[in-house]
Amino acid sequence: MIHVTLVNHTTRDVVVPAVSTPGQAETHFQISVHDAKGRPAPPTAYARNEARRPIPGSYGIVRVKPGESYSDDIVLTKLFDLTRGGDFTVQVAANWQSAAPVTSNSLSVKVRN
């Protein structure tokens, strides 16, 4: 699991889509995971079939004011098959209508099987 924090460095509110069910960050962030050779990690069955379907729970928005932050958790193994282990690079992106597109710094992850 990785913990993602978006900090609003602008001078206006940023509207972030949110769901009431914890651990569903894949519904409003784009996550990429690549192995040491730059190949995309294979998606899980959930990612292929379920990740973009509507999920149960309430949908809403969170207004992140200038200087404030919004955090959520992403369960990588829910979305990517990392069972072979190895070194991976993870990036998270957001492209919401209320803000310019943003991409996280790269995160290096070592998975041991």
Block means of pLDDT (10 residues each) for the chain, 113 residues, are 89 80 75 96 89 61 92 90 96 78 92 89
pLDDT of the residue at 61 = 83
Alpha-carbon distance of 57 to 20, in angstroms, equals 6
> Do residues 22 and 104 lie in contact, with contact meaning Cβ atoms separated by under 8 Å?
no
Task: Provide the pLDDT for residue 54.
Answer: 59
Overall fold of domain 2-111: Immunoglobulin-like (2.60.40)
Residues making up the chain, counted from first to last:
113
Contact 30, 94 (CB under 8 A): yes
Other C-beta atoms closer than 10 Å to the C-beta of 99 total 18
| Residue-range domain boundaries for the chain | 2-111
Q: Where does 1-113 have alpha helices with state H? A: 45-49, 76-79
